[in-house]
Structure 1
Amino acid sequence: MTGPLPAARHLVALNRVRADAGGQTTAALQRTRLFAEEAGTGTTVLTFDAFPAYAEAEASLRERGVLHPDVRLRNVYDDLRERAWPEPTGATEELADLGDLRRVDEHRADGSLWRVRWDNPVNLEPLFHDYVRDDGSVSVRAAAPLSLDEFPRRPGLVQVVDPAGRVRESHETQGAFFASWVHHLVADDETVVLFHDSMMVPPHLTPELDERVRQVAVLHVAHVYAPRHWNSPAHPPAARTLAHLDRLDALVTLTERQRADIALGHGDRTNLFVRPNPAEPTEVPDPRPARDPKRFSVIARMERVKRVDDAVRAFAQVVEQEPDAVLDVYGDGSLRPRLEDLVRELGVDGSVVLHGHRPDAPQRLWESSGLLLTSRSEGFPLAPLEAAVRECPVVAYDIKYGPREQVEDGGTGYLVPAGDVAALARRVVDLARSPADVARMGARARERVLADRDAYVASWGRILERAEANRARRVHLDEVAFTPEQVPRPTAVWSRVAGRVPHRGAHVEVRGRLLVRGSGPDGWRDAVRVALDAVDQDTGTIVPVPITVRPADADAVTVHGRTGLRALLAEVPGPRPRLSLRLSVTAGNAYWETPVARPAGLEPLREIGYDADGTLQVRARR
């Protein structure tokens, strides 16, 4: 690596880009701008949605400086309208005539034809979309409607058509269609890095791209739902992306906590990295605004996930002790009427001001003594970064993910337990009564985020360099299978009942043969890690079970694990843990796991196994 970044062509895959770009799009475009400014690396941003106004969106983003001059924006449907096709060398299929269907023309804002929708003439259900060129010829025909949340597979799902009406490509999945377009953009001898900044696209695109394309996914959102343990129900787009983790050169999370949670659920692989988003620097105003010791702020959408009502309830407690305190709430959303009612109900309409959306909200933080963050979950929230560069301390719920990494408790603000409104109020009062602490914390916060921002591009360079080096060490697990010879009783007995625990001699024991077939660099088997864990389904607590692993033959090992049940249960919180056993194999970028369970109802002195032909065997223990 001769500069801040390894030499490569950069692409960014986003499902969509709009003029009013949201958080993850803003973060992705910020990265492309910093790469261009500090490393001279331009980027092409690829979008995969059908949208008639990309020209207007791009113009707006460029006018505001969000899109750097060295960053291009290309959409798959717009791009294929302009593609030049060579003369076909063989037979081609003519695009089918849909004249027996109901035609509906869809236009751009300037009145020009954008696409034609073909409906079932009986029930008016949309069946096809034809994306057209300026001369009215069809460039792409796709089944309608196509959603990135769905994975239909059928011949001719998407057809790419030349100006003469000949079908030049026919794809049975969206992923194959998208990958064909990306491959067309990439030269055979190019080193290409594709950044996935939307979790909607990788499940389609990742398995279809060839080895020329280095794939780096950046996870901007929490990947699990409440209660947000590592094994909690997964956010569907993130879960579908993580299913292809072995195909990614890097998965980059914004916090170490999220990387650790993914490692617990999907293996501690060599392609997991952490790089937080940076703050957007801003100069200290001259003259510097006076900071009001009694003024506090919230910058958030008025939606359930942001839990702004907690900030209002906390402030009702604050004004009981500090009657002159004021809370400015910037943002809008569907819950605004409820929040207005809550403000009146709590009698704080003279202390809590709902400003709605204001573009200058971040600049108002120069006058605020604290930003409140009360979200249920985040990926890496923007508002605390905006506060830090403006020397405004943050009082935040300690949620997953972001606040713990962004806020140094007692140093740049305060962390309080999620949902603890009283603790939130106490910390606001602490700040209101100590302007000296506000000044100290604010200065420290600005210093930290500006130092991190200065290191941003170089740290990305190290991630890309390591990801490239890991390609030569990539492992493919072709077949992994565990044949049990001895497994424990059903997990229903692994509980503390009425305060009692099993007798001291009770134990958990697993014995079996583990087959591992795959490929990788020389010596890859030496780095294979086998683990047996007891997992509490309710809390996500993991208790490692000691195991002995011995070679059996070239492709297999024997595994024997044993631990005392009393000692195991002592490691798990709660009176009635629900434990299961998990056997896992980690080999560099690759991971495999299986539950190890005894069938319910099997007699305690019976064990299960398998014959050589795979037939289930039940036999008595001696």
Structure 2
Amino acid sequence: MPSPPDADFLVLTSRLAPRLDGGYAVAVASRLRLLRSIGVTRPLLLTFDVGDADERAREIRHALREDPEGDIEMRNLYEEVVRDPSWLYEQAQEGGADPATAYRAIRDDAGAEVVSLPVIRDDPDWHLTRTPVIVRGERGSRVLAGFRALYAAWLTRVVAELRARAGDDERSVVVICESKQIGELIAEWVDPNVRIVHTVHNSHLAAPCRPSAPLRDDGWRRWLGLLDRFDAVVWPTPSQEDDVVERFGAHEGFAAIPTPIAPGLEPPARAREGTDVVMVNRLVDQKRVDTAIALWPSVVARVPDARLHIYGDGPLRSALQNLIEERGVSGSVHLHGYSDRVREAMATSAVFLCTSIFEGQNLAIGEALASGLPVVAFDVCYGPRDYVGAGGVLVAPGDTDGVASALTALLTDEGAREEMSERAREQSLLLTLEAVGETFTRLLEDVVARPARR
């Protein structure tokens, strides 16, 4: 495998919280492990969330599955502001708070207010506000023009520190941005030696997911309008890249590179002889877990001892539990909530089920394939269509009878299940660190070799 370019590498994410963000957090953690696997020394993770520092550290350690050798450096914007606000105060301008806006105070350990953040309620575009951020100091209060200026001040400081540490004022810095919101805010970052590589985690299209479908929301619309500002964009599947190129045009630096997955666990002897079906996803509308619950009675009618185990949490948990009871399947459908033992559940289940109406990549499908777990999913863009292959059965979107029949066939035919299990493991080889690493390294080499796009 080629060596990575001589540069510092930053990974930007709003937060890293597997219990809240499911597959997104897993993908960010996987990106950090990918950087380490290709030879990047101590990639730096930057987070921008306000919260308890100890809880944040626990979440990050959990997402990274521990970091005993200190191979990944981690920093948080607000922890650094609280620890030493003087650098931010010096970058702020004269001004005051907006009297019509509520503010959230960020305080130091002594209870003194250090920064006050505008609270923009019920607005998905809160990050674009230019409402002043207030910075407190011994000489009074100063302001920054919204979160864009706040983030820019911190990133400029971080990059300057990295260059000072390397003794090179022109050292290349590669910023891997995992969040569209952050990407919008840094798209105009002008530094000839900074390169921005933006990753994508989900479909840009509303359901039904066709190339001509409407965009999911204005956030996607704005972000797609910024494609020429990023030095590279990493799409999780070739088909999503193709659809974007067809509709919005090609851009230098586009690449289809999946998020790699870790090897699966070896199942215990005769584990696949059971009739357990497993789902792993957040309990949100996109995943349509209600569809799985609604079709489950027809599976149980044909396979009476079948059990559906659903791992993951989210805002629909109570509604889904009510649906389970209404459908009379509380004895065979179980909501387990968030769990760090999903891989063990995959190793002892017979089939993996995905009823999403659209996807980006769907890391849980990749983990299922790596565990030798046959996948049954709707044939939706983009992840199932690109990566299930011979390792499962894809059913026409909305065909719940087809899903029930596919599940029944796999649960009742041990030979077919074993054969598909082997094909699932073969299919998962496309998603290993080794398979992804060389392509990712060459992308980084190309990005550093080209002039910055901003």
Which TM-score bucket, shorter chain as reference?
0.7 to 0.9
Question: Residues 67, 237 of structure 1: CA spacing in aligned structure 2 closer, same or farther, 3 A cutoff?
Answer: farther
1:78 corresponds in structure 2 to 79
**1: CA distance, partners of 2:301 / 2:85:** 70
1:466 is the counterpart of 2:440: no
The unaligned stretches of length 5 or more in structure 2 are: 164-168
1:527 corresponds in structure 2 to none
**2: CA distance, partners of 1:352 / 1:77:** 42
The count of corresponding residues between Structure 1 and Structure 2 is: 437
**2: CA distance, partners of 1:12 / 1:305:** 26
1:5–1:457 CA contact under 8 A, matched in 2: no
Q: What code does the residue aligned with 1:149 have?
A: D
1:277 corresponds in structure 2 to 259
**1: CA distance, partners of 2:18 / 2:312:** 18
1:149 is the counterpart of 2:131: no
1:165 to 121, 124, 139: 139
Q: Mapping of 1:127-146 within 5 angstroms?
A: 127-134=102-109, 139-145=114-120
1:390 is the counterpart of 2:371: yes
Deviations 1:480-522 (A, max 9, x none): xxxxxxxxxxxxxxxxxxxxxxxxxxxxxxxxxxxxxxxxxxx
1:30 corresponds in structure 2 to 30
1:236 corresponds in structure 2 to 218
1:141–1:160 CA contact under 8 A, matched in 2: yes
Q: What code does the residue aligned with 2:79 have?
A: D
Is the deviation greater in 428-437 or in 64-73? 64-73
2:347 corresponds in structure 1 to 366
1:179 corresponds in structure 2 to 152
Higher strand proportion, which one?
1
Higher helix proportion, which one?
2
Deviations 1:358-385 (A, max 9, x none): 4323312222221110011222112212
- Name the SS for the 2:197 alignment partner: strand
1:93–1:166 CA contact under 8 A, matched in 2: no
1:425 corresponds in structure 2 to 404
**2: CA distance, partners of 1:230 / 1:173:** 35
Question: Residues 262, 19 of structure 1: CA spacing in aligned structure 2 closer, same or farther, 3 A cutoff?
Answer: closer
RCO higher in structure (CA 8 A, sep ≥6): 2
**2: CA distance, partners of 1:271 / 1:143:** 36
Q: What code does the residue aligned with 1:165 have?
A: R
1:311 is the counterpart of 2:292: yes
- Name the SS for the 1:464 alignment partner: helix
2:308–2:333 CA contact under 8 A, matched in 1: yes
- Name the SS for the 2:273 alignment partner: coil
2:17–2:63 CA contact under 8 A, matched in 1: no
1:416 corresponds in structure 2 to 395
1:179–1:209 CA contact under 8 A, matched in 2: no
TM-score by length of 2: 0.85
Q: Mapping of 1:245-394 within 5 angstroms?
A: 245-285=227-267, 287-288=268-269, 290-394=271-375
**1: CA distance, partners of 2:38 / 2:253:** 25
2:192–2:451 CA contact under 8 A, matched in 1: no
RMSD: 3.2
- Name the SS for the 2:304 alignment partner: coil
Q: CA deviation at 1:171?
A: 3.0
Q: What code does the residue aligned with 1:449 have?
A: S
1:222 is the counterpart of 2:196: no
Runs ≥4 residues deviating over 6 A? 92-96
Question: Residues 142, 319 of structure 1: CA spacing in aligned structure 2 closer, same or farther, 3 A cutoff?
Answer: closer
TM-score by length of 1: 0.63
2:387–2:427 CA contact under 8 A, matched in 1: no
**2: CA distance, partners of 1:264 / 1:451:** 25
2:427 to 444, 448, 461: 448
Question: Residues 290, 66 of structure 1: CA spacing in aligned structure 2 closer, same or farther, 3 A cutoff?
Answer: closer
Higher Cα radius of gyration: 1
1:9 corresponds in structure 2 to 8
**1: CA distance, partners of 2:94 / 2:407:** 69
Q: CA deviation at 1:259?
A: 0.9
